[in-house]
Amino acid sequence: MIARTIDTPDFVEGVALQGDFLYLAAGPSGLLVVDAADPHLPTIVGSVTQSGYSFDVAVSGSFAYVAHSGFIVIDLSKPDTPVIVGRLAAQGAHSVAITGGYVYVSRQSDVLVVDVANPAMPQVVATIPSAGGKITFDGDLAYVGGSRYLEVFDISNPTLPQSVGRLGVGVEVEESVILDSHAFVAAGWVGLLAVDISNPKPSPVFGVGPMAGAGNFAYADGYLYAAVGYDGMRVIDISNPNSPVVVGALDASWVRGIRWRA
């Protein structure tokens, strides 16, 4: 059941959740800050708008890291008045993820590893040649989606990432969720793929599809909540990773991203 909707001035490309606040990468409207303390009454309380386009956002501590016609760092210490404090020329940036004090900025042909220890002066410390899709972390491994492959990199030394394997899936890899020895991969019109990652060189195990437009996941308590574009949302029981089952659905005009809050 949809508890509440909130109108935004533009299409929402990326979502991050921290505490009582949602952070929306809203295309030409920049970053929107939504107070979601009451999920039945979400309210936009702040924004940062500048020329360009916001594709994605990741949040850690008091800062948001946004792929916005490059890369910008926003101070969120006052949610009603967020302020840009740092920026980096990163043409083509479309996705961001953060772990261990480093932000991984995906572009069309590579991933930039950015040290944000000083938010006012983000520094590129490494470049990973890849298709530059969305990134999921599992310990010292980074799983990078992209054109036809899920690539795996050892990032135990963020300044010297090393390729350890890749899986050809034949279609664009949107996003992945890591659960124990499996990666669950959103593979567009193919649907959901499960990948055995017990060996760093991954291999496919099974698929659940078709789910046209599968592009984003949230995981909680043995279930994947999958955004499947014009088909809304699907709920998939993966308590048995070798036999996932679609157990529920929510019809919606367009579901692009999902974040879970207990």
**Beta bridge mates, 250:** 233
**Predicted pLDDT of residue 47:** 94
pLDDT in tens, 168-182: 766 667 677 777 777
Q: Is 207 exposed, middle or buried (0-12, 13-18, 19+ CB in 10 A)?
A: middle
For all residues of the chain together, what is the average pLDDT? Answer: 82
Percent of the chain surpassing pLDDT 70: 79
Kindly report the backbone phi and psi dihedral angles of residue 152, in degrees, each rounded to the nearest multiple of 5, phi listed first. Answer: -120, 130
pLDDT per position as a tens digit, 58-102: 999 999 999 998 999 999 999 999 999 999 999 899 999 999 999
Instruction: State yes or no: pLDDT of 33 exceeds 90.
Output: yes
pTM for this predicted structure: 0.82
pLDDT of residue 45: 94
**pLDDT at residue 118 in the model:** 96
Going from the C-alpha of 130 to that of each of 134, 144, 150, 193, the distances in angstroms are 11, 8, 10, 20
pLDDT band at 184 (very low <50, low <70, confident <90, very high): confident
Cβ atoms < 10 Å from Cβ of 164: 15
pLDDT tens-digit series, residues 187-241: 666 667 777 777 656 555 555 555 555 566 777 777 877 777 666 777 888 777 7
CA 100, chain centre distance (Å)? 16
Residue 190: count of CB within 10 angstroms of its CB: 20
Q: Which residue in this structure is represented by tokens 């042909």?
A: 109
Domains, the chain, ranges and CATH? 1-129 (2.130.10.10)
Q: What pLDDT does 70 receive?
A: 92
195 versus 139: the higher-pLDDT residue is 139
Stronger pLDDT, 184 or 79, i.e. the higher one: 79
CA distance 171 to 225: 21
CA distance 70 to 106: 10
Question: Which of the four pLDDT bands, split at 50, 70 and 90, describes residue 260?
Answer: low
Confidence of residue 5 (pLDDT cuts 50, 70, 90): low
DSSP sequence for the chain: --------SS---EEEEETTEEEEE-BTT-EEEEE-SSTTS-EEEEEE--SS-EEEEEEETTEEEEEESSEEEEE-SSTTS-EEEEEE--TT--EEEEETTEEEEE-SSEEEEEE-SSTTS-EEEEEEES----EEEETTEEEE--EEEEEEEE-SSTTS-EEEEEEEEEEE--EEEEETTEEEEE-BTT-EEEEE-SSSS-EEEEEE---TTB-EEEEETTEEEEE-BTT-EEEEE-SSTTS-EEEEEE--S-B-------
Q: Residue 230 has what pLDDT?
A: 64
The token pair that represents 204 in the structure block: 């496919």
